[in-house]
Structure 1
């Protein structure tokens, strides 16, 4: 059994795998470009999902399973994977805690006008006329009521917020007062003080947030995107902000990354930009490899890995 990793795996996790699976040949690399001939013998490939091409799949003649130690899989060559009958799983769910904490921290920063407070401090200006609001009693709408969305809603409940979520079916999930399907997203947008997008990038979600949908939001509303940049039409968000259709946007992801140097978002008072780090945590790899281990034990026993198995037709 040969397992190849093109992801940079922490040394202590490498050693734990070597110790716990002595009959498995692990080959650890820091990037796909240096994997070389090891790919030809790989039964399992561990990757972040951004470095796998059709050419790699052609070389990996024995490959049966790709483990993506991230949630995003949109850059994988799905058609080639389907043709070769390869199973794909991901690490969905490991980002729930850090991304929910990021979201609540940004909601608090906007509500308590942190950008203005920091500016006043740097100017050495004592000004107590800074407008602030409470989260208490506000409504947060979450586009994507999966693991991350549910953790956001759970934390929001601690601030006595109302919670509305959207998922693909409209089925009830924990921590949400109300769930709507995509066809009823207008209800969520019109009634939320904060709208948080955790949407994955698929054919159905590409450009989901349009100018028309931003116009449905309250003029005082805040939009937060921690999902995928291409689920938002960026030029239309810019237009909505310039016209004050919404009051603020917190953006951790963008259509093209990194965000270009002279983009208006960098200097707008109504925008907070962060460099795609809402999911960063010291616990990232331990959580991802806990999922890998459970699936790997099943795989070694002759069963398919089932946790977080990707639907290759849907792309998530």
Structure 2
């Protein structure tokens, strides 16, 4: 049996894996090599290096383990047609992403950019108005594993949390939960709006200019899900008209964000280069999911953790 990694894990992760599964032929490369695919049974990948041709070349492929939560760049139909099992590392991002989101919110509330700027200029300047996170209301779009962790941290600051998901079913660490279709009615209640939504046909351009008009003028909007939740033109118009206080974006319709983008010119936005989930423990947590899943799969059990419906995208 051959398991092909299209990246090279650190030795402290790779060597114990090989020792634990001595009968498996592990191959580790810095990037995918098409001539290696013909005999591969399991592919471990970040998902961005797959296309229809490569799925066709991997004639023995039975399982793709995606070391990422998003699979939007993978050839969904080709994988589905072959009946290839797909699972991912959903949930491992929750700690670093929740910390990133909380850090951005606190930075804006407690005017850290203002403090840093004046330090650089050597100015003793108190001409600003810090606000408190305590007592705020936060609306979380897509309160899954990451959203729950954000809710847990926010509630520690006595923030009232409202979740929006497809079902409207109750979610841990949400004081209230609504269906996504009811989002217009709850937007005016929140000073903080956080999206962790994946990219699906239902979520593409889900937020429109009318949604931003429903938000409070003191709203902080954070998109840490996928960039196609809202069109770039709508974001620019919203921020130019100052319909909200500030936007924090970790994801964009086009990545990397072009240097010509008008978003760079706006002063009520924080641009993060899609790395809020990055952490020195990222692959460590990924292997904590992969190894138990591999043991189950070798025993003929395909009910793996984070098994995905590839056509749905989650």
Which 4+ stretches in 1 moved above 6 angstroms?
A: none
How large is the Cα RMSD of the aligned pairs? 1.0
Q: 1:244 aligns with which of 242, 245, 265?
A: 242
Q: 2:43 aligns with which of 39, 42, 45?
A: 45
User: What is residue 17 of structure 2 aligned with on the other side?
Assistant: 17
Q: How much has 1:48 moved relative to structure 2?
A: 0.2
Residue 165 of structure 1: SS of its match in structure 2? strand
Distance 2:205 2:50 in 1: 25
Aligned pair count reads 314
| C-alpha contact 1:296 1:305 (8 A) present in aligned 2 | no
| C-alpha contact 2:34 2:57 (8 A) present in aligned 1 | no
After TM superposition, the score normalised by the length of structure 2 is: 0.98
Q: How much has 1:305 moved relative to structure 2?
A: 4.2
Cα distance change on mapping 1:68 and 1:103 into 2, 3 Å:
same
1:224 is the counterpart of 2:231: no
Distance 1:170 1:10 in 2: 41
User: What is residue 119 of structure 1 aligned with on the other side?
Assistant: 117
User: What is residue 85 of structure 2 aligned with on the other side?
Assistant: 87
Q: 1:131 aligns with which of 129, 132, 137?
A: 129
Gaps of 5+ in 1: none
User: What is residue 271 of structure 2 aligned with on the other side?
Assistant: 273
| C-alpha contact 2:239 2:266 (8 A) present in aligned 1 | no
| C-alpha contact 1:9 1:30 (8 A) present in aligned 2 | no
1:144 is the counterpart of 2:142: yes
| C-alpha contact 1:89 1:305 (8 A) present in aligned 2 | no
Gaps of 5+ in 2: none
User: What is residue 186 of structure 2 aligned with on the other side?
Assistant: 188
1:58 is the counterpart of 2:56: yes
Q: How much has 1:129 moved relative to structure 2?
A: 2.2
Tell which deviates more after alignment, 264-273 or 146-155.
Answer: 264-273
1:307 is the counterpart of 2:269: no
